[in-house]
Copies of this chain bind each other. A is one copy, B any other.
């Protein structure tokens, strides 16, 4: 299987360019003051590799000849993730951190050996799965080390075992989600984890970042599905997970999940799986106004029978969806809503997965019991489903057009959801001026919900990086104290300065002590998760 994958170039270096439909472009120009000057990408500089000959040879000895790459394409192909700033860097703006080498281990044992070797040779290690981090999680920072490698887990692509009775599959960390699903399909099983990064993201990345998928209402967050982990560290291998639940002390699995490569490298995950649904049904509804919409989503989340997919767009996001879609159907829909007296339409997508149409019909009936929702039918739900992974592709197009486009997210308890949404919107608008801020709830819990923001603005021609940094800082400040700094994007570099406000000085000290135990020389993913300086041996 490994042979079929091109290890040289991950294909991440050729942003898809495209075009917006004329009506959407016109609307965008009206709303953001976007000019019609294109901003084509340039090729970034690639410095010479700083990996010493001795380190290179030692790594060669671990992974075998040909699996330590120092060529330009391999290194560029793992330069950063998919944040707006990453993409700017990859378009030749700013100075992205390029790894000195890319190392491709084939087994969990090799990963441990690579880490030990790197600790011996003063080389920092950045674990790399799908490279879809939008918070700087895979930036090739070397910290205080002599060099930095990107540890690409692409060759760890095996389905290790399946226990259909216990509904557990052991999957290697480098498996991209679609490939994991393909391997599980013959067993009639699915993970059911579909974040927007689904097409590229890996099992290990899901666990390392506490990922949440679009169907998290039904399938849970990824950490809810982790039954066990196998972690490689510079001091040896650590395995956890013997039971579905335990009171054998603190849940250390939850210390590994979300450790973002800073405490170790996840090499295998025991994942709770479920029978593949035979039927999926998606349906669009409209609710009048954000408050009514979020109250509806809350009622669903607090009921016994939430839908598997629950996603509420605010008025702005709903408007943008319709504007981008365009055409006679949109016009007809708007007229229909006006006629029904819906002043502030908020789109609600609900999705059910099940064994049969009959089962889904019963569940749908029970879920919707007592709720006042205006159904827009299945076509709208299916349209959302069809386009749900398109965000990243649309972003490439928008950046080409000179749009500053980025997302950020948080979560809080229900009583503060609207206050937090208002505060973040205000912070972004104040910082960016003429911009569009959209918001949706895509993950609802009994006690609260996530808020996911998408921002569109005309890019600052002189300082596009500074423009976004100011806006991001403003949003992060608005979040701090009311919500979590990240609901599912993780900490990376971008949120590290805000972690202490959330988990306290003792929280940071605890993480640092765990890091010193597992990574005594501090080679693992420097600058991620823990603020720089706190993670060094002390």
Contacts and interface: CB of A to CB of B under 8 A. Distances in A.
Contacts of A260: 249
A335 interface: no
A211 B263 CA distance: 28
Contact of A514 (B167, B484, B514): B514
B254 A258 contact: no
A180 B252 CA distance: 29
B245 A495 contact: no
B517 A209 contact: no
Interface in A232-260: 233, 235-236, 238-240, 242-252, 254-260
A247 B510 contact: no
B447 A249 contact: no
28 contacts: A167-B446, A168-B413, A210-B251, A212-B247, A227-B447, A233-B506, A239-B504, A244-B446, A245-B445, A245-B450, A246-B487, A247-B490, A248-B486, A248-B491, A248-B503, A249-B491, A249-B503, A249-B529, A250-B256, A250-B258, A250-B511, A251-B251, A251-B254, A252-B255, A255-B255, A255-B510, A272-B446, A304-B305
Given A168-B447, A227-B447, A239-B504, A484 B246 contact: yes
A116 interface: no
Interface of A: 163, 165-168, 209-212, 221, 223, 227, 233, 235-236, 238-240, 242-252, 254-260, 263, 272, 274, 298, 302, 304-305, 362-363, 366, 410-416, 443, 445-450, 482-491, 495, 499, 502-504, 506-507, 509-511, 513-514, 516-518, 529
A529 B248 CA distance: 8
Given A304-B363, A363-B304, A447-B272, A248 B506 contact: no
A166 B507 CA distance: 25
A517 B221 CA distance: 30
B510 A413 contact: no
Given A223-B251, A412-B242, A486-B246, A517 B509 contact: yes
Contact of A248 (B242, B447, B485): B485
A256 B503 CA distance: 12
Of residues A233, A239, A506, which shows the largest number of chain B Cβ atoms within 10 Å of its Cβ? A506
7 closest residue pairs by CB, A with B = A244-B448, A166-B413, A243-B484, A244-B445, A254-B254, A246-B484, A210-B247
B167 A495 contact: no
Contacts of A363: 304
Given A255-B255, A304-B363, A366-B362, A243 B483 contact: yes
A165 to B, nearest CB: 4
Contacts of A514: 510, 513-514
B443 A243 contact: no
Nearest to A231: B506
A166 B240 contact: no
A33 B165 CA distance: 40
A448 B258 CA distance: 24
B244 A249 contact: no
A20 to B, nearest CB: 31
Given A238-B506, A250-B259, A255-B510, 12 more contacts: A163-B414, A242-B502, A243-B411, A244-B413, A244-B448, A247-B486, A247-B489, A248-B491, A249-B490, A252-B255, A272-B447, A514-B514
A209 B495 CA distance: 32
Contacts of A518: 506, 510
A513 B511 contact: no
Nearest to A491: B249
Contacts of A236: 506
Of residues A413, A414, A415, A486, which shows the largest number of chain B Cβ atoms within 10 Å of its Cβ? A413
A311 to B, nearest CB: 16
A518 B250 CA distance: 14
Nearest to A224: B245
A256 B504 CA distance: 14
A114 B445 CA distance: 37
Contacts of A221: 245
Nearest to A301: B244
A450 B209 CA distance: 29
Contact of A413 (B227, B416, B487, B529): B227
A504 B415 contact: no
A212 B248 CA distance: 13
Nearest to A495: B248
Contact of A507 (B238, B305, B416, B487): B238
